[in-house]
Structure 1
């Protein structure tokens, strides 16, 4: 049973001074301890540090509520009051303590106040939680705010501030207002940039690259397989040689190798599959364009991508989606054979010549093969359901939900037409479901991808491949 309620404030201060004296004397008597006892001592100090930090927050909250900072001579703010009385915070950190203390006075933050003053959440982590909630609150469903608070505090009790900060995307995807997670990716794209190389040493140039989570996933998938050390094995001509290149140097060499491969390809179609990106997403999220997909493999494991990004990648990149039902059971394993074949791409190059988006003449070699009716909505991978789009306009078509189709010309030539009305794709799906749509390459059904008939499967030679 705790004796805390039986102690007066003066008793607590006296015991804290005794604990301070014991901690100060500890280094001189470490030689007396066994290995196990050293571990025990560290555990006690860890618990003491956590409880002490909680007490620091409690004192600061109480002082602010009493108006102590303003009552000093001369008056000071909460941060200055903390710095005056706490040696560790005299130079830096006082602002965090004051900010957390001020925020904990808000009745809406009662759950955080309890966790901080009890020492379960550190002041640094509490400051991050407050920042994350301030950023997220305007984008959350009102009835999800309490749920998000509990999620942050629970995570903050078990992990550090960095881990708490990484929770933002998942909470936004699961509890944000409709379209907020997608909009965050769209806003982030406006910040993408690559600087001109700056010479930082004779013959050595530095570039600064800023890309979105989607771009990072594609980049890491492209260079990841090439970054592993490649030691030279022993043979009759010499002994083995280790790969002594640092990790960052191997990554630079991998990126240059990918660029070199692309340059050698020239205007030819890809002779092999494109970069493989593995992602896990629920069937419901994929069909409703809600929630998020979770990346698997490499440095980006666990990071989230929007459902629209999953749909766009699935047009012309080797995305390997693992689709789960509501019970978390795998209902469909994506396969690279869902993609357009090299022969189909060559035919698209001959037909479309370049990006089909109005006003864009990006060469065919820079384009993706886009599904007019997405595979997740029942569209087949055939030429009547395809058009070439450069990367920028491929993103535009998916995010704006534009719709396209093949239209015969007066001379018998066929060309692509785009309806650039926002959400035109959704209206086209409604017409197709009702049976009154424009000539569709495939009849849509209400069946999930793994239950659609063989007519929706791509002729790939794989009897187990389902093409949703």
Structure 2
């Protein structure tokens, strides 16, 4: 039996023990990095090599930290200290998040990091205490650093790669998760081959990329393609189920006219939201040279969005983009369809037909908003069971009699307006019609009527611009009205 090595100074001297020596080395490294920052002519290649070695040091340090956690698990430190688990003990002594500490304990134990490296074992060294590593359940803190649990175990290939600094903690978790998810029918030889392949992939890929490649790791050890496909499908299905179960949402009132919240949704739903907001806030792709292409093909000057202004610092640009997307999210939320929240079916169907066809059992074919043909009988049938807005056309296919005149435009009138417009009526704006507000060309207060001839769809941005006094002109482009904004009145 050998005495415990002096990893730390018995007198709590920060400079004592092996850890003290390493901390002194880190101090020298810190000073060298300061000198590097002041040096001239440092090449990207040289700095890249430095970062590579720093990353390796970080990985090794994390691995040794995990190794300490694994040793704590093997000597059953939880029962010696009255902790519920090794993870709880780790969280207490390292001031870390309990969830992260539990994950660290599990990761380290699975990698076998608590097992001494055979190449460094000394002859006759016994890593057990006076009671052979057995605590007897009395909670006393023994002197041992091992026990029966360490015998017969080995450090896994993943653990060895982590100790060498070749892969990170995140890589280790991906590998361990992948190995645990392998089908029970996979042989031990194939499992060993899978782990070797995963470690090799981890050296040259990020954890995210490794997670993608790992789904088909069986393919790399000669498994039939059908089995590989089935296993990948099972993994994706399980991931989708976990993602759905982890979905959450909360929001609170800040009391200052705003609300703050957080949500977790499956990736597909999150990507859909991000795509919508990106599309709403992105500069017009049709424009070039800082100009927008109008609905009639004309170009108008456009102010560059703040997040694309290279004269601003990155943080300012980021905040500008976040503000704009927050505003776009607010616009989106106030224009979401809610008709499906009642007893009717999930969507309002816009059906174009003729009054004579609705009165005739064998009437003419109608169509939905996207051009899908419908028989008149089908139109009458779905009108009884879904939220359907019938758009009755006159002899010149113009919408007629779509609602009583009132202060506000009705849903039926907006449905008719959708037959004429697909986007905001402001020149060059491609915000979809569904996210617009119906604006009176001649203001209601000035005698304007609430009818289709006086209605125009505007997105929230351009509607507010008119309300704030921007000068503008109105021109006709076929059946549409196009509003061209000039400048704000001073």
TM-score class, shorter:
0.3 to 0.5
Instruction: Point out the structure with max Rg over C-alpha.
Output: 2
Provide TM-score, normalisation by structure 2: 0.39
Higher helix share: 1
Provide TM-score, normalisation by structure 1: 0.40
